Amino acid sequence: MAAFGTVFMPEMSISWFDGEGWSTAERVASDSIQLHPGAHVLHYSSTCFEGLKAFRHQDGSIKIFRMDRNIARFAQSSELLSLPAIDPAQTEAMILDIVKHFAADVPEPPGSMYIRPTHFGTEPAIGKAAAPSLTSCQYILLSPVGDYFSGGDTTLRLLLDDTGMRCAPHMGMIKSGGNYASALNPILKAKKELQADQVLFCPGGDVQETGAANFLLIDGDEVITKALDESFLHGVTRDSILTIAKDLGMKVSERQLTVDELLERAAKPGCEAALSGTAAVLTPVGTLIHKGQEYKVGNGGVGETTVKLRQALNAIQWGQAEDKHGWLTSI
């Protein structure tokens, strides 16, 4: 199977901001865009993106999961990067149009159509290191994806990094390109030297998140995860899992979690940990690595509560359980 995110639908929806307004969105070929080599994004990383999914239901209908949340975050990322403001209604219409156009290509569960809105500064002005791009472009790219979680019984190994940071603290809640490049060096080092799958960034001992997913500790009937602040990405999956956990009668604690508490709790039998994100849904964590020592989370295997929460989320997405929070949009 092709790697996640390497297959694209042949067309995308695109709109350009000329300094005054957004052009009428058009469907164009998705294999290239033309940019001036001096475009602001290529020099000063004025770019943000989103990731959401459309699902095929048994009755043949196509539903997009929590589109409003993703568009709101896209608008917020654009604003915090001083990009031109997007028009949320236009972005929504672009998403609906392109997903409708390729509705026949939305895979059956456990697959889905991954939707990638992207916005970046296009102004040819390399003198603008400390000034915003007055022009920009947004497009909606589609990528049919399979089951990211085909791992079966495998669990992730995470290196706890309590000295480094994923990105600058004021950039954490912005889904912006530069943040991912900034986290690569420590991630590649951890993969090479410790066979870790990911780095769990814990600046100053405060358990935060990995390069592209939020972290949840599940201890009995309690889910513990960092409370929202501007230093990390406010995952829609994180919010959905916490809502489902509450619906199932679990206790949800959004608060600071220190590395010391994490290691102490993780060792207890029955403790579980997981990463949440649109691509990974909820992926179990089996091993934590800290200061040269390895710690199993619970028994190191796939936790049953992790599986239960994941299945409950999938059931809503796939139309097998009631959408009582109104998370699905019909195309």
Q: Catalog residues that contact ligand PLP under the rule CB under 6 A.
A: 51, 175, 209, 212-214, 233, 235-238, 276-278
The first and second tokens of residue 124, run together, are: 């040819």
CB of 315 vs ligand PLP, minimal distance in Å: 17
Q: Are 327 and 240 in contact (CB under 8 A)?
A: yes
- Phi/psi at 70 (5° precision): -70, -40
**Measured distance CA(275)–CA(142) in Å, rounded:** 24
What is the secondary structure of 60-111 as a DSSP string? S-EEEESHHHHHHHHHHHHHHTTPPPP-HHHHHHHHHHHHHHTGGGPPPTT-
Nearer to ligand PLP, 51 or 303 (CB): 51
Count CB atoms within 10 A of the CB of residue 192.
Answer: 9
Q: Are 62 and 96 in contact (CB under 8 A)?
A: no
Nearer to ligand PLP, 138 or 276 (CB): 276
Nearer to ligand PLP, 135 or 278 (CB): 278
Count CB atoms within 10 A of the CB of residue 71.
Answer: 20
Nearer to ligand PLP, 54 or 212 (CB): 212
Nearer to ligand PLP, 112 or 278 (CB): 278
**Measured distance CA(76)–CA(291) in Å, rounded:** 37
CB of 209 vs ligand PLP, minimal distance in Å: 5
Nearer to ligand PLP, 16 or 49 (CB): 49
CB of 208 vs ligand PLP, minimal distance in Å: 9
CB of 49 vs ligand PLP, minimal distance in Å: 9
Place of tokens 């936790």: 303
CB of 119 vs ligand PLP, minimal distance in Å: 15
Nearer to ligand PLP, 263 or 279 (CB): 279
* Helical segments of the chain, H only: 40-44, 67-80, 88-101, 177-194, 236-247, 259-266, 304-317
Nearer to ligand PLP, 9 or 187 (CB): 187
CB of 211 vs ligand PLP, minimal distance in Å: 6
CB of 276 vs ligand PLP, minimal distance in Å: 6
Q: Are 52 and 98 in contact (CB under 8 A)?
A: no
**Measured distance CA(78)–CA(92) in Å, rounded:** 15
Distance of CA 272 to the CA centre of its chain: 21
**Measured distance CA(146)–CA(177) in Å, rounded:** 24
CB of 112 vs ligand PLP, minimal distance in Å: 13
